[in-house]
Amino acid sequence: MDYNFHWRPVFRSLPDLLNAGLVTLEVATLSMVFGVIIGIVFAIIRLKMRGPIRWFVISWIELARNTPALFQLFFFGFGLGAFGIHLTPFWIVLAGLTFNNAGYLAENFRGGFQAIPETQMRAARSLGMNASQAYVRVIIPQVLRTVYHPMTNQMVWAVLMSSLGMLVGFRELSGETQFLASKTFRIFEYFAVAAVIYYVIVKIIIGGSRLLSFRLFRY
Amino acid sequence: MESTSIFFTSFKTTDLWFLAEAAYRTLLISGISISLGTVLGLIFGWLLHEGRLISTFILSPFLDIFRSVPLIIQLVLAYNFAPIIGLNIDPFGSGAIVLTIYTTALVANVVRGGIDSVGIPMRRAARSLGMTYWQDMIYVVSPIGIRAVFPAWVGVALGVMKDSALVSVLGYVELLRASQILITRTQEPFLILALAGAFYFALSFPIARFSERLEKRWSQ
């Protein structure tokens, strides 16, 4: 083994990497926020509605779940180019992740809605709430409780999937790492540090969600 | 216009063969990694269940790393680490190794969950009937545990099949990489991406549906 590790250039650019880590968190969080909203709406549509809207929703969900995330990113990156729509790398990653998250979360939410007894809805309605009030104040809070852990997992997946941004030219943590590594050719060192940052981000998300669950779910 | 027409040619039927071959390569690398990873995952899952100290302090955190670092980073690290220790591995080899370890980490957790799902009273009953430890494992734990986690295992296997698209970063020409090559030549992104997506979908969707139905039938 006659390879000398050079960690100094990596540590010199550590601030850049940490900033890129923030970009990763930002895009993952945004995609989760949009994904949760779309996921809830889709779950309700899939459970309650009939007709073409339901078929659109089902095909979105099944496409998101049964094709690679990278394929979805490429589709938003190059596929839409066929229709003259050219997104910037940030929007490619955000759109791809949101598409994917929405599909997986919709299925989680569907399970969550099915776990709520019918009587909850009837009780809420008989208290004089209208349908949307009953959903917002009674049903959805309970659903959020049952899908809390799957949602945490999905957030971790969103962070990990955002690394695909590297392949469409987005400068989040992986993209920035590749950019810096290609300037110095210290590929292994740079990616090792990036791996550590990803690990820390994931652990912070899981730990934070556990702390938050103590605060949220106490009686 | 004359000069560009040399580089950009339209989509031909021979390109379908190119895509089919690439699809075969996707199946090859994911098939190898899923089967090897499942065997290793069975062993490690059993270790996670049995070995208390080793599993909590060494094995569990170690396997956790592979689930907390993006696969693409793992691939780049492995591909660039091999030459450092003097190995010369081609993209297929390093891709298969990383995917196998990744599958192992995921399957080990599934297997642990399966063994844990068999109640302790059931296992005590088996042992008190005079079964040995391995008889208990084979005739009592595995039928119940497999039913409990088979759908989860299918999910892992399909996930690895889809994630095998990432091996393209190392230069292994699998389906998605092949479609990118064709897009560069033919400038028809929508058609080719749709073909590639249809292949993944046609493989993943029926299996996912089948496992869903199996899960429903077994839970009755």
Q: Convert the pLDDT of each residue in A67-85 to its tens digit.
A: 999 999 999 988 887 788 8
ipTM score of complex: 0.87
B65: in domain: yes
Angstrom distance (rounded) from CA A36 to CA A26: 15
* Token duo for residue B122: 């059931």
B172: in domain: yes
B126: in domain: yes
B47: in domain: yes
Q: Is A84 on the interface with B (CB under 8 A)?
A: no
Residues of B with CB below 8 A from A86's CB? none
Interval A150-164: pLDDT, tens: 999 999 999 999 999
Element (H, E) at B179: helix B175-186
B16: in domain: no
Q: Provide the pLDDT confidence category of residue B1 given band limits of 50, 70 and 90.
A: very low
Angstrom distance (rounded) from CA B166 to CA B62: 22
B149 neighbors B111 (Cβ within 8 angstroms): yes
Element (H, E) at B141: none
pLDDT at site B186: 83
Answer left, alpha or beta for residue A88, where phi above 0 means left and psi between -120 and 50 means alpha: beta
B136: in domain: yes
The Cβ of residue B126 has, within 10 Å, a number of other Cβ atoms equal to 19
Q: Which of A3, A66, A188 sits opposite B204 (nearest CB)?
A: A66
pLDDT at site B52: 78
Residues of A with CB below 8 A from B189's CB? 78-79, 81-82
Where do the domains of chain A lie, and which CATH numbers do they carry? 37-216 (1.10.3720.10)
B18: in domain: no
DSSP labels, B60-128: HHHHHHHHHS-HHHHHHHHHHHTTTTT----HHHHHHHHHHHHHHHHHHHHHHHHHHTS-HHHHHHHHH
Q: Provide the pLDDT confidence category of residue A215 given band limits of 50, 70 and 90.
A: confident
What is the number of domains present in chain B?
A: 1
Provide the residue range defining the domain that includes B182: 31-219
Q: Which of A71, A187, A202 sits opposite B196 (nearest CB)?
A: A71
Interval B161-170: pLDDT, tens: 999 999 998 8
B151 neighbors B215 (Cβ within 8 angstroms): yes
Q: Is A87 on the interface with B (CB under 8 A)?
A: no
Q: Mutate which of A66, A182, A197 to test chain B, going by most B C-beta atoms within 10 A?
A: A66
Mean pLDDT of all residues belonging to chain A:
90
Residue B145 belongs to a domain with what CATH number?
A: 1.10.3720.10
Torsion on CA atoms A207, A210, A215, A218, rounded to nearest 10: -160
A75 vs B204: CB contact, 8 Å cut-off? no
B90: in domain: yes
Q: A 148-187 residues with CB below 8 A of B?
A: 156, 160-161, 163-164, 166-167, 174, 177, 187
Q: Which of A3, A174, A194 sits opposite B84 (nearest CB)?
A: A3
Interval A33-78: pLDDT, tens: 999 999 999 999 999 888 899 999 999 999 999 999 999 999 998 8
